[in-house]
Amino acid sequence: MSDIAFLSATELLGAFRRLELAPVEVLEAQIAEMQTRGADVNACTELLLEEARAAAERAGDTYARCAQSGQQPPALLGLTVATKEKHGIAGRSLESGLLAHRGRIADADHPVVQRIRGAGGIIHARTTSPEFSCATVTHSPMWGVTRNPWNLETSPGGSSGGSGAALAAGFTTLATASDIAGSTRIPAGFTGTVGYKAPFGRIPGLPPLAADWYRGDGPMGRSVADVALLTSVLSGRHPSDHDSWGPTGELPALGGGVEGLRIGVSVRLGDFPVATEIAANTRTVADKLAAAGAQVVEVDLPWTTAQMRRTIFAHFGHILGPAVARESAGARTSKYLQQFIADAAAGAADTSLVDSLAMDARMRGELAAAMADVDVLLCPTSAVTSLRADGDYLDGIDVDGLHLQHYWEAHMTAPFNVANGCPVLAVPSGMSGCGVPTGVQVVGHPYDEAMAFRVAHTVEQLVGFDGRPPAGS
């Protein structure tokens, strides 16, 4: 296991600028990790190694010239970035894990791919997801089962499970993800990495689904600073997405600590059942924040898991569900995708679009009231310590002795897609007894990215999580 493969982006950029390390050395170290664990973890759909090696050599030459001239290199120059397969690359497959899409080719680069390449990042791998990103586990008939490097019997989560697994296994320095109900934050929680759900429109997507106000594309990394760096590159107005907003290249500040801040804590977000270890680790983070000078207060929310399920599936029933049904028509699909389509259809039949908007507004109003007197909200990312790598969970899931009708209720992420103006970072909170990391979410007020990053960075410093799975896990 190479130390180089697991260095942070910020550490690598400093070493590159000082000519102490060459980008090609890091790439080769990460390729070695792929050769060692790639078959077991199964995080990648495609490797672009020939192109990546050439780009890494060019990046090294550019750093040498910058060292002589004093010029500033591009923001991501020489850093490896594994992109989620759904982030299309012109001329390469764009299959979304669907057999119905086998052989489909992207005709243009996705905006996040454009910006990564424009900043000098090296896309060397593309990562797995469940079919059409419609599960919180990552397996599909097309790509097989993606496993968690921390415990191969468990899932890295989903839908951006391949990105989380690739980061945790040392296959890449940075990664891209997407999030419509937690698809960035759930894998971050289970893999001991960091994921960011930006406010709606902050990071541009592609039509038509970019217009869905629950969703967004975003970054993952092994530290809050790395995620801030990639966020600064990905964010900002783009002509492909009329909802995109704000500047590009604006790096969120991480300093300032938490002294004097009011931090709300909600372990259960209403009536969510939460595993004992998850609750304990969340409380430990809250205690550390209090010891660092924050005023930590309990926040009560009136939410129920049933309310959350009904709200999101009413929404999906009018937008994503019909899109998935159309795209997968006539092809063999997984049982979890069939269930998603059926649940979404039932949601639309039960609740009109107008009524679903009222349900969204209710949850947003309840969150605004709960956060009125705090700077951020702290809560768990998932209520369970792990999911089975090959699980479908068609019959629901048990959490802390209580059976939940739908396994998505075991994640505490979707409410913040309903309230999608909120910036939310998922950061590690500790470890569970099954050898899988646990995580917390730092939820900011709408569009207040600076405060969310400030507190998340402090959480990371206080927890001191070792983000490298033990050898042989």
Is the CB of residue 160 less than 8 Å from the CB of residue 110?
Answer: no
Lowest mean pLDDT among 155-159, 162-166, 357-361, 465-469: 465-469
Q: What is the pTM of this model?
A: 0.98
pLDDT surpasses 90 at 137: yes
Q: How far apart are the first and last CA of the chain?
A: 12
- Domain positions in the chain: 4-463
What is the average per-residue pLDDT within 107-129?
Answer: 99
- Geometric angle at alpha carbon 248, from 242 and 253, rounded to 5°: 130
What is the average per-residue pLDDT within 62-69?
Answer: 98
pLDDT surpasses 90 at 252: no
What is the average per-residue pLDDT within 97-118?
Answer: 97
Q: In 3-state terms, what secondary structure has residue 352? A: coil
Residue ranges of the alpha helices (H) in 106-178?
Answer: 111-118, 161-168
Nearest alpha carbon to residue 350 among 314, 304, 301, 391: 314
Say whether domain 4-463 belongs to CATH 3.40.50.1980: no
CA distance 410 to 407: 5
pLDDT-derived band at 1, boundaries 50, 70, 90: low
pLDDT for 230 equals 98
Strands 262-265 and 216-221 come out as: unpaired
pLDDT-derived band at 323, boundaries 50, 70, 90: very high
Is the CB of residue 365 less than 8 Å from the CB of residue 311?
Answer: no
pLDDT for 23 equals 99
Nearest alpha carbon to residue 37 among 66, 6, 15: 6
Beta bridge partners of 44: 127
Residue with tokens 């923001």: 75
> Which percentage of the chain shows pLDDT scores above 70?
100
pLDDT for 15 equals 98
Segments of 93-225 assigned E as strands: 122-127, 139-140, 144-145, 174-179, 194-197, 216-221
Q: In this predicted model, what pLDDT tens digit does every residue of 444-472 receive, in sequence order?
A: 999 999 999 999 999 999 999 988 998 87
pLDDT surpasses 90 at 2: no
pLDDT-derived band at 253, boundaries 50, 70, 90: confident
pLDDT-derived band at 287, boundaries 50, 70, 90: very high
More confident residue, 134 or 331: 134
CA distance 346 to 329: 18
